[in-house]
């Protein structure tokens, strides 16, 4: 009975978070529709993380300023939201699983999987920078697994006759962004370089598959 009550409460809170999430998404979509009508070109995704910046010394004044990194991949990651070290993160995972389960269109599912991957790679970077490299690397591993699933779903959608070229191109840029973030994490997670190299290998394999499919 206690186990049944625990499962019921977990599902209840998961559905509650899902309802709030769907409400926010609907509100945001309506707001963005208004922005599009007025000429705005805001993205449909959540607030992006800051783009990569380089620190530059101004030789003339001696001041330090920030500029956009020259090699930064032009791809914005969604705000990660609740991190894996938060007590309510389990409910967030339940919500994500429910949303994924309710998504039957293969291309839409691939887009959702990519969104999950992007959120988790952003969360991994925040965790590593916050002094939690082990949890950050675990989160990065989950991010690349979601990315791998997104690539597989795109392939199945294409085989079903759905046009996926635009999403395939987006996947390619996403893989490059993930590699960029993983490389940045590698410089900050001392002693974890070998694990990150393994994650990078998986990410690069996904990028290879995408490019092979684009060139067919």
Whether the Cβ atoms of residue 149 and residue 112 lie closer than 8 Å to each other:
no
Which run of H or of E encompasses 68? strand 64-68
Per-residue tokens: 158: 């294409």
Whether the Cβ atoms of residue 69 and residue 52 lie closer than 8 Å to each other:
yes
Per-residue tokens: 159: 């085989």
At residue 75, does pLDDT exceed 90? yes
Confidence category of residue 157, pLDDT binned at 50, 70, 90 = very high
Residue that has been written with the tokens 């979601």 in this structure: 146
For 17-40, the pLDDT digits (tens) are 555 454 444 444 334 334 433 333
> To the nearest whole percent, how much of the chain has pLDDT over 70?
67
């Amino acid at each position: 009975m206690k186990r049944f009550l625990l499962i019921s409460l977990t599902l209840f809170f998961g559905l509650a978070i899902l309802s709030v999430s769907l409400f926010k998404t609907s509100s945001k979509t309506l707001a963005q529709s208004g922005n599009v009508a007025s000429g705005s070109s805001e993205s449909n995704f959540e607030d992006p993380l800051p783009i990569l910046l380089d620190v530059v010394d101004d030789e003339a004044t001696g001041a330090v300023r920030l500029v956009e990194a020259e090699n930064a991949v032009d791809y914005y990651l969604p705000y990660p939201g609740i991190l894996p070290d938060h007590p309510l993160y389990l409910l967030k995972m339940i919500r994500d699983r429910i949303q994924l389960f309710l998504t039957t269109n293969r291309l839409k599912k691939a887009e959702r999987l990519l969104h999950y991957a992007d959120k988790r790679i952003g969360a991994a970077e925040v965790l590593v920078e916050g002094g939690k490299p082990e949890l950050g690397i675990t989160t990065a591993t989950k991010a690349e697994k979601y990315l791998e699933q997104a690539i597989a779903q795109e392939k199945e959608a294409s085989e079903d006759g759905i046009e996926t070229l635009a999403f395939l191109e987006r996947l390619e840029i996403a893989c490059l962004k993930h590699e960029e973030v993983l490389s940045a994490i590698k410089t900050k997670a001392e002693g974890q370089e070998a694990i990150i190299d393994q994650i990078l290998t998986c990410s690069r394999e996904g990028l290879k598959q995408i490019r092979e499919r684009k060139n067919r």
